[in-house]
Chains A and B, each alone.
Chain A
Amino acid sequence: MSPSAEEAAQALREIDAIKERAAGFQDYQAESAQLILWGAANSIGLVATALFEQHLLLIWVPLVLLCLVAGALLARRTNALLPGIGWRYLLILGAILFLIVALHAVFWPLSPEQGAMIAPLFVGVLYFLRGVLLRPRYLVIGGALAGLSLLSFLFAGPWFWWAMAMTWGGTLMLSGVWLGRR
């Protein structure tokens, strides 16, 4: 028997809901692995910075390069689910790195602590905006990243690097786990 108009409308609503759910699921899954990767890298880098503050470039350049390679490989793995994610991923990271370098050039001299705040604040605001426009979990993640990092900058004093390893790196990792468990 043919379904009624009401049943047909209900089925179409169901299809739309599943489409949205599937897109969100794929999005969160792709994001999860990246957040864990960059969270772990940042925590390692920040702890290393706390221990060897005079070797900033030696710590961060290889770490970021290594993460870029690993992140690109991860993005390629999820490429099957989200076409075009590979080049978008590299463009986004390129934009973040560009902002860090550009702000250093514009506001030089910056203390290492000030320089270390650029990425967390920028990424935090980016996630917040994505949350407002797209998916609610990003709103929480963005708020937590920017807010907790700022608290570390304002109140951690001599423990800044250690605090950032937890608030910035740790929050990235926890966010990744949270998205993955969706």
Chain B
Amino acid sequence: MQTPDEIIHQPVRLKIMAALNTLGSSQWLEFVALRRIVDTTDGNLGAHLNTLESAHYVRIKKDFAGKKPRTRVCLSARGREAFASYVAALHAILELQTLDTDSGETGD
């Protein structure tokens, strides 16, 4: 059985990946917007984004919008694949449990 990705299987990182996965492949989300969606602090979000960036699951772009510094985040192709596999692994766990339950009931 496929084991869920340990990098994604953490509450905040899961939220980050799920939020970014709602966007198109070349769409970026501002750090501030992501923080509101994930509902966490700047520091916590930044730390988890670094972990995801190290795994090449997200790309982070820092630039200026006018004079204001801006950080944007995007899910990479590898990140999108990893997230899809993660979700598939979760479904597989649930299906396996359903099968176990069914066979247990049949055995009775």
Q: Which residues of B contact A21 (CB under 8 A)?
A: 19, 37
B15:A14 contact, CB within 8 angstroms: yes
Chain B positions 1-27 with a Cβ under 8 Å from a chain A Cβ: 1, 3-4, 9, 11, 14-15, 18-19, 22-24, 27
Map CB proximity to A onto B66-108 as digits: 1 under 8 Å, 0 otherwise: 0000000000000000000001011101101100000000000
- Tell me if A162 counts as interface (CB < 8 A to partner B): no
State how many residues of chain A have any CB contact under 8 Å with chain B.
Answer: 22
Binary per-residue interface labels of chain A (68-89) against chain B in the complex, 1 for a CB within 8 Å, 0 otherwise: 0000000000001101000000
Pairwise interchain contact B33-A18, C-beta atoms closer than 8 A: no
Instruction: Give the residues in chain A near B9, CB-CB below 8 Å.
Output: 3, 11
| Bound CA–CA A152/B96 (angstroms) | 62
Contact B87–A15 (Cβ < 8 Å): yes
A12 near B90 with CB under 8 A, answer: yes
Given A23-B22, A25-B36, A83-B24: A18 in contact with B94 (beta carbons within 8 A): no
Which residues of A lie under 8 Å from residue B91 when comparing CB positions? 8, 12
Q: How far is the CA of A23 from the CA of B21 in the complex (A)?
A: 11
Per the CB 8 Å criterion, the residue count for chain B at the interface is 27
Given A3-B4, A22-B37, A182-B36, are A14 and B93 neighbors across the interface (CB < 8 Å)?
no
Please state if A25 and B87 are interface contacts (CB–CB under 8 Å). no
> Contacts A2-B3, A12-B87 known; A25 to B33 CB distance under 8 Å?
yes
B4 adjacent to A2 (CB under 8 Å): yes
Q: By the criterion CB–CB under 8 Å, are B94 and A5 in contact?
A: yes
| Whole-angstrom distance between the Cβ of A32 and the nearest chain B Cβ | 12
* 7 nearest A-B pairs in the assembled complex, by CB-CB distance: A5-B97, A18-B18, A8-B93, A8-B90, A15-B18, A22-B22, A22-B19
Q: Contacts A12-B94, A80-B27 known; list 6 others, CB within 8 Å.
A: A8-B90, A9-B90, A11-B4, A15-B14, A22-B22, A83-B24
Q: How far is the CB of A110 from chain B (nearest CB, A)?
A: 43
Chain B residues within 8 Å of A3, by CB: 4, 9, 90, 93
